[in-house]
Amino acid sequence: MIFNPAIENILNEMVSSEVITNEQQGLCKLILFSFQNKINLPNYLKVDMNTLQELISKLVYSRLIERDYDLQGNVQLSLPLYIDAVEEEVTEINTTNVKAFVEANINTYRALFSKQKKGTTGLRHGSLGDKQACIDKLIKWFKKTKFKYSWKEVLSSTEYYVSLQKPNNYQYLQNADYFIYKNNRSNLSVYIEESKNPQTNTNWNREHI
């Protein structure tokens, strides 16, 4: 299990923003550090309640946390704190084996768009995409990007993208085949780069390959 990069992205953006106070920035940094290192916040931590409530409201607005109305005053994370780590790369994909590799591993990719990653029921109707379209587009994508990305990067960045859609109940989740390519644009490429540079704004940055 690894720390969810989507949470790190939200907290880093909050720290670098101008909408929170210095005290709230310090608290965000402390929260991020505790999550990354799997430790509890110190018991001696003293925080002004108004400052804390303002920060909570901003974190709710950012969709990092949500209010639990069954337990008055409580909040909970909207995203999983830790996600499954992707297994180490075992095959170098190249022009010789790309077709066979993609055909053999396409179900693993499409399963990321399904409930409990079982590959049967989509997180949203149609989100698994057409299997053959996924195969054809991934082969095209690997060739277009000149095999500079690994299979591990494909899976981890896709999982990162899917995790970002949970707060909206996957309403805007792209189909698995469209995520690779739609209208000659690849969100797969965008999110691989964003996972390396989490400050990138995916709402506006789209790579055309």
Provide the 8-state DSSP code for 154: H
Confidence class for position 142, pLDDT limits 50, 70, 90: very high
Confidence class for position 144, pLDDT limits 50, 70, 90: very high
pLDDT given at position 32: 82
Provide the 8-state DSSP code for 64: S
Specify whether the CB–CB gap between 113 and 102 falls below 8 A: no
pLDDT given at position 29: 84
pLDDT given at position 133: 96
pLDDT given at position 197: 64
pLDDT given at position 86: 59
pLDDT given at position 208: 36
Tell me what the mean pLDDT of segment 76-100 comes to: 77
Specify whether the CB–CB gap between 113 and 132 falls below 8 A: no
| Of 208, 194, 207, 206, the residue nearest 10 (C-alpha) | 194
Counting Cα atoms < 13 Å in the Cβ hemisphere of 17 gives 15
In angstroms, the CA 182 to CA 72 distance is 44
Confidence class for position 206, pLDDT limits 50, 70, 90: very low
| Comparison of pLDDT for 47 and 205, the residue scoring more | 47
pLDDT given at position 98: 94
- Give the containing element (helix H, strand E) for 40: none
pLDDT given at position 88: 52
pLDDT at 79 over 80: no
In angstroms, the CA 135 to CA 151 distance is 13
Q: How far is CA 110 from the centre of its chain?
A: 15
pLDDT given at position 194: 79
Query: Kind of pairing, strands 2-3 and 65-68?
Result: unpaired
Specify whether the CB–CB gap between 10 and 60 falls below 8 A: no
